Amino acid sequence: MTTTQVVNPATEQVVTTLELLGAAETDAAIERAQRAAAGWREVAPGDRARLLRRFAEAVDANLEQLARLEVANAGHTIGNARWEAGNVRDVLHFAAGIPERLLGNQIPVAGGVDITFHEPLGVVGVIVPWNFPMPIAAWGFGPALAAGNAVVLKPAELTPLTAIRLGELALEAGVPEGVFQVLPGKGSVVGQRFVTHPAVRKVVFTGSTEVGKQIMAGCARQVKRVTLELGGKSANIVFADADLERAAATAPYGVFDNAGQDCCARSRILVQRSVFDRFLELLEPAVRGVRVGDPADEATEMGPLISASHRARVASFIEPSTKVAFTGTQPDGPGFWYPPTVVLPDAPSDRLLTEEVFGPVVAVVAFEDEADAVRIANDTEYGLSGSIWTNDVGRALRVSRGVEAGNLSVNSHSSVRYWTPFGGFKQSGLGRELGPDAALAFTETKNVFIAT
């Protein structure tokens, strides 16, 4: 069996060594899931709801432990990690409301009765990246389980620990054996098997656009259902009429949260030219003021990057010719640190404006007017999130409708809410997670006509 070392990115110390599943073990787990799914779909809605509520309560009772695990494994700040574990609990409580509300339609027809059912798919495979191991896992497994599916979940190789713990908590809460299995392993082995194994009827993938395209192509062979949550290059658009002080004070947190390893990171700041210089003056102290350091420290606002190789990738974006406006701080000593960095690209084709850095690097560019702002915001293959700062409500709405992205916030950098839909336009993804329709992504609609 292959093993992997789990490393604390803030200290570079080995946290634990873990066995990775091979192809045969993955197949065995998928077959267990298939058998378990047959029983799970027959569990009465109220009982399925109660088990999910118990699972949520088990997560809540272990919230601090889960948060500490994420601090050690992913270098997330303790404040963020507590929010993330709390988000799993909340997603499960929300999901617990689904089984009894999975309503079909009764459609008027001649000569009989027509009704629709939302049938579970069977086995759902969830593939999770390393940047938000807990929430992204729960957005898949919560509604999938609620809709009556069994779930096999592959955590990222770098960050498997909280997912493994969540799998244990599900069992402790009484979720039947085989209904929810966590399978640590390589993407090319375990993840790939979710794509190719015919018993897996849907793949929920969150990760890079590059791998997402391969997953989609692979799923096409079996016409397998797929939801993709991919990369982003989101714009934070600041108009001259906005509260500039607030826009500048909050901009760092819209991009440097989780050290910029956030698909929703507002990694392009678009500022109206008349206030461009003033905005940069206000941004500089805000960026220098971001508290970067030990993620276990309650006051810390930004931790390290996930790995040495990821840090090297982030650093490769800053070339000798790059105009760096200013940077924030980073601690000395071990850890995969990178300081908050603000750059001023010259040309729209600059990699810093077109590619996802997935680190604490933000590019600031000027725009002339509303139309120009929307044009620049949309000048990307991505379309995940974004922010709009203005005190003109008409403009806020016009620009919100104009920007091609799935999740926008006005005068804020809103994070994801489990009861509102989340997902991307263009190459940022396919399908939606969370929100009122969360369960429908894990069911097939069946129409039945009964002659009377």
- The residues of the shown chain that bind ligand NAP, judged by CB under 6 A, are 127-132, 136, 154, 156-157, 186-188, 191-192, 206-208, 211, 214-215, 229-232, 263, 356, 358, 384, 424, 428-429
CB of 381 to ligand NAP, least distance (A): 12
- Residue with nearest beta carbon to ligand NAP: 187
User: Rounded to whole angstroms, how far apart are CA atoms 12 and 272?
Assistant: 42
Enumerate the β-bridge partners of residue 244: none
For residue 115, which amino acid is it? I
For residue 258, the 8-state DSSP code is: G
Q: How many CB atoms lie within 10 A of CB 446?
A: 11
Closest CB to ligand NAP among residues 99, 167: 167
CB of 9 to ligand NAP, least distance (A): 14
User: Rounded to whole angstroms, how far apart are CA atoms 199 and 176?
Assistant: 19
CB of 388 to ligand NAP, least distance (A): 20
Closest CB to ligand NAP among residues 229, 301: 229
CB of 54 to ligand NAP, least distance (A): 28
Catalytic entry in 263, 264, 356, 433: 263
Catalytic entry in 229, 301, 356, 433: 229
Nearest CA to 143 out of 423, 434, 429, 424 is that of: 434
Closest CB to ligand NAP among residues 139, 276: 139
User: Rounded to whole angstroms, how far apart are CA atoms 260 and 43?
Assistant: 42
CB of 230 to ligand NAP, least distance (A): 5
Could you tell me if residue 264 is left (phi over 0), alpha (psi between -120 and 50 degrees) or otherwise beta? alpha
Closest CB to ligand NAP among residues 122, 232: 232
Q: What angle do CA 378, 380, 385 make, to 5 degrees?
A: 65
Closest CB to ligand NAP among residues 88, 127: 127
Cα 121 vs. chain centroid, distance in angstroms? 23
Give catalytic status of residue 263 as yes or no. Answer: yes
Closest CB to ligand NAP among residues 208, 330: 208
CB of 214 to ligand NAP, least distance (A): 5
- Residue 269 tokens, joined: 């700041």
Give catalytic status of residue 264 as yes or no. Answer: no
The single residue listed with the structure tokens 């093993």 is 3
**Counting Cβ atoms within 10 Å, is residue 17 exposed (0-12), middle (13-18) or buried (19+)?**
exposed
Its sign, for the CA torsion 186, 194, 265, 268, is positive
Catalytic residues: 229, 263
